[in-house]
Amino acid sequence: MECTPELIRSLKDEERVRVLAYLIDEKGLRARDLGVTINFISMVKSGRRRVSDSLLCRALTHLTPEELARLLGNQPEPAIVDAEAPSFIREGELRTIPCWLAVC
């Protein structure tokens, strides 16, 4: 994701922490991938340090726009499809649901 001055200014401190925590905890990024130590990450998560603009820019390069929107609450989490669902649902063929329900 591209790091722009407008985006940097728009993100609050708690959102910056959420981005960093997501990358480390959910995506498996290492602190050194972002140019910081694991101790620094711990201090950020505990509120003793702030996510700087430069660290945020490095972090944003590892996110898609969809991930950022989800983290900021602008987009719902993706649905988890049950393995027992009919194959057309598992394969993303949702447009056939009306016919499957005999509504077409």
Residue segments in the chain with a per-residue pLDDT below the cut of 70: 75-104
Q: Is 5-71 a CATH 1.10.260 domain?
A: yes
Task: Give the number of residues written for the chain.
Answer: 104
Mean pLDDT over the full length of the chain: 84
pLDDT of residue 1: 86
In angstroms and rounded to an integer, the radius of gyration of the C-alpha atoms of the chain is 19
- Residue spans of the domains in the chain: they are 5-71
CB contact at 8 A, 19 and 11: yes
